[in-house]
Amino acid sequence: MEYLIKRTFEKLVSKGCLHVTMASGTDFKAGDDTGPRSAIRFTDSRAQWAFLFDPELKFGELFMDGRLLVEHGSLYDLFCLLMTNAAEAPESRWLEAVDSLRFALRRWKQRNDSNRSQKNVKHHYDLDARIYDLFLDADRQYSCAYFEHAGQSLEAAQLAKKRHIAAKLYLEPGQSVLDIGCGWGGMGLYLADVAEAGRVLGITLSDEQIKIALTRVRDRELDHRVEFRIADYRELNERFDRIVSVGMFEHVGLPYYDTYFKRCRELLEDDGVMLLHTIGISSAPAHADPWIDKYIFPGGYVPSLSEILPSIERAGLIVTDIEVLRLHYAETLREWRNRFMAQRDAAVVLRDERFCRMWEHFLAFCEAAFRHETLVVFQIQLATRNDSLPRCRDYFSDRENKLKSRESLISGSLDLSSVAAGAGHDAPQKNRTTHDCTDLPAHLRRQSPAS
């Protein structure tokens, strides 16, 4: 068995250096002993067998359980080493068979009807809100930021993301907007407050998100123009001038793409515009990562453009623009990972050590995948008519400049003063909806941004 482990890693790592220590104490090195270096150790022989049987799933599980230890470098460094070697690594016939089976079963795994969708959302988004306070920005933007230049703070990049999306919506003052997957309400509040939407309806399936979103809209005294509710996109029967969906499409499920876009077309006015912001892959279709599917986003799927566009065409929507955001999510995840690791002691108190290992694995794995594999973010602009939007794309920047000017005049749920100054995570977060952290030890309460 140790021979099989050695052969597996020698095939996987040809550049750099990976030092592997077996449960028995024997060790070896894989790679050409140059460049990046990492070291891992298996704590028991059953862990080694589990890894050989299904490395895609078991690597994360073993790390969560403390049975696979990273002894040199960070977990993120290890993922970077493995992923940069993966393209040239031959795959065993057994793992090819496992991949083929997972690919064949992907539609069955993503049977996200209304009941299952709500259950999936609760699994991830109904965590203790204080966990998200540890690493998100003050506006709780839990999707890819838009980094306009090197060194930009996460707060400024998340604000730029909302501005970029609002510009693409080509929203006129007084128009109505549906926000599918509204999260904690930040996008909807921006569209009402800065972009001057006449009415915004934000929907989510998360009880925890809706509580905070409703509190925020009441605090801003925008409840006459902004409504948040628990609802599935399939339940709505109203019509809107604009639809925005940020980071929700990954949860729709491949069998429901036709349903999703057909419903969006029915919900749009005759001259409507939609902006879809979703994680995707720039390669051929593949199966969902089994560890992410089991522990982080059950029922989730990251599509290729070739899987999205046919459903858009069948729904009668017109693709008016596609932008591919490369590396923006890698930078976003780096910020989240650094902030979470800086607050890790507080996270252990809120949950436990295994949860923190799971979350570290999630953030490190995703950051490395966005940096070294084919994960990207698609922003797909859609319209119901050819003449719904200007013919040239220069209106994007014109609209963004106007929105930026209006931001400077507004204070409220977004801490625009600190964002404009490029403030980082330590800046005062005056407008964050706070949560009770009195059950944390005093030294952790002082660290927590929610305190």
CB 122 within 8 A of CB 310: no
Whether 366 is catalytic: yes
At residue 115, what are phi and psi to the nearest 5 degrees? Answer: -65, -45
Q: Are strands 199-204 and 176-180 parallel, antiparallel or unpaired?
A: parallel
CB 379 within 8 A of CB 282: no
**Gap between the Cα atoms of 136 and 443, Å rounded:** 20
Q: What's the token pair of residue 276?
A: 């879809």
**Gap between the Cα atoms of 382 and 45, Å rounded:** 53
CB atoms within 10 A of CB 120: 20
At residue 93, what are phi and psi to the nearest 5 degrees? Answer: -60, -35
Q: Which stretch of DSSP H or E encloses residue 324?
A: strand 318-325
**Count of all residues that appear for the chain in the document:** 451
CB 165 within 8 A of CB 189: no
**Gap between the Cα atoms of 320 and 391, Å rounded:** 9
**Gap between the Cα atoms of 79 and 211, Å rounded:** 36
Buried/exposed 19-52: b ≥16 CB within 10 Å, e otherwise:
bbbbbeeeeebbbeeeebbbbbbbbeeebbebbb
Question: Of the residues 264, 366, 392, 437, which is catalytic?
Answer: 366
The 8-class DSSP code of residue 131 comes to H
Q: Which stretch of DSSP H or E encloses residue 101?
A: helix 93-104
CB atoms within 10 A of CB 100: 11
Q: Which residues are catalytic?
A: 366
